[in-house]
Amino acid sequence: MKHDSNCVWSVLGSIRSTYTQDGAVLLDVKKGACYSMNVVAARVWTAMERSQEGITLTDIVNALEESFPVPRERLESDTAECLENLRRLGLVSQNDRRLSASASSGGDSTFDS
């Protein structure tokens, strides 16, 4: 499956999140629906929340690489699948627009150890 690593992903404004050691719980306040996430999906979500202009798949994978010692290709594939699942659930949006150079290289998408 081919993934566009340059499209921009954003969290929808109606979604609230809370984190635990086991992952995260999301609440869609418009739908009144809750969703649970494992630790990896929670890290994907955190990367998107920290990036107010949106974030690319490449930037999310770069941030995840610091925490998960798996081959980059697998991390990219799993992250793309996670993003697609979030999109299908109506929790995130995907845009084909490119980020500005300063936004795509920004530190907002990295995680503290």
What pLDDT does residue 69 have?
92
pLDDT digits (tens, 9 = 90+) for 39-79: 999 999 999 999 989 999 999 999 999 899 999 999 999 99
Torsion angle of C-alpha atoms 104, 95, 33, 18, degrees rounded to 10:
0
What pLDDT does residue 98 have?
60
Whole-number Å distance between alpha carbons of 47 and 15 = 15
pLDDT above 90 as % of the chain: 75
Question: 79 with 57: CB under 8 angstroms?
Answer: yes
What pLDDT does residue 109 have?
34
**Domain range annotation of the chain:** 8-12+38-96
Question: 91 with 12: CB under 8 angstroms?
Answer: yes
